[in-house]
Amino acid sequence: MSGRLIVLSGPSGVGKDTVLHELFSREPQLRYSISYTTRPPRPGEVDGVSYTFVDDESFRRLEEEGEFLETATVHGNRYGTSRRRVQAMLARGEHVILKIDVQGAATVRDRLPEAIFIFLMPPSLEVLRRRLRDRGTDDDDSLARRDADAMREMAEAERYDHLVVNDSVERAAAQILDIVEASCGANAG
């Protein structure tokens, strides 16, 4: 039995990590693919749990070796999904969630069109901007870049199979779980 690949995208600050945490607490059989990144860890992030943190040279070497299913440059940092990790989980029949940006999702869509593509939307642009400001991890220039990126990313939302508005973490997680269950069968795991 093969598992299904679920791709979750959305603009920075929309709450992807919070919704995923809620989703995994409701359905522990779902698996998360930990991406590689060249960006430094944020407070509370753990290598091998949040991301696999690597330097630029290591990332380039992995890319040259064909390790990545997809890569993207987001906010000046490189991100990549391990092809090997994803294939192993899918081969075990596990349903795997990728949290990737719209660039990476486009690559996955070309390579694995049978994946389930879900875009997480904010309730409004003002709510998104407030969440980014309140996070306190970005200076004014970075916030302006993230705002412009959010507009570009949300313009891609129509290319996704499903749109979920994160007006409530619990409701958004429940809706994603409903989508996964409908697409993968009664038992998501």
For residue 128, count CB atoms less than 10 angstroms from its CB and return exposed for 0-12, middle for 13-18, buried for 19 or more: buried
Picking from 116, 52, 47, 124, the residue whose alpha carbon sits closest to that of residue 82 is 52
CB 96 within 8 A of CB 35: no
What range defines the domain where residue 180 resides?
5-184
59 in any annotated domain: yes
114 in any annotated domain: yes
pLDDT one-digit tens code per residue, 85-116: 999 999 999 999 999 989 899 999 999 999 99
| Backbone angles phi and psi of 94, in degrees to 5 | -85, 145
**Residue type present at position 87:** Q
CB atoms within 10 A of CB 137: 13
Q: Residue 186's pLDDT is what?
A: 46
Distance in angstroms (rounded) separating the CA atoms of residues 119 and 163: 5
- Reduced to 3 states (helix: H, G, I; strand: E, B; else coil), residue 124 is coil
**Per-residue pLDDT band at 141 (split at 50, 70, 90):** confident
Distance in angstroms (rounded) separating the CA atoms of residues 60 and 54: 10
Distance in angstroms (rounded) separating the CA atoms of residues 59 and 80: 8
Say how many domains are in the chain.
Answer: 1
Q: Which of 11-20, 137-146, 148-157, 165-174 has the lowest mean pLDDT?
A: 137-146
189 in any annotated domain: no
CATH code, 134: 3.40.50.300
Q: Which residues does residue 51 pair with via DSSP β-bridges, in sequence order? A: 47
**pLDDT tops 90 at residue 128:** no
24 in any annotated domain: yes
CB 18 within 8 A of CB 10: no
Assigned token pair, 125: 């642009």
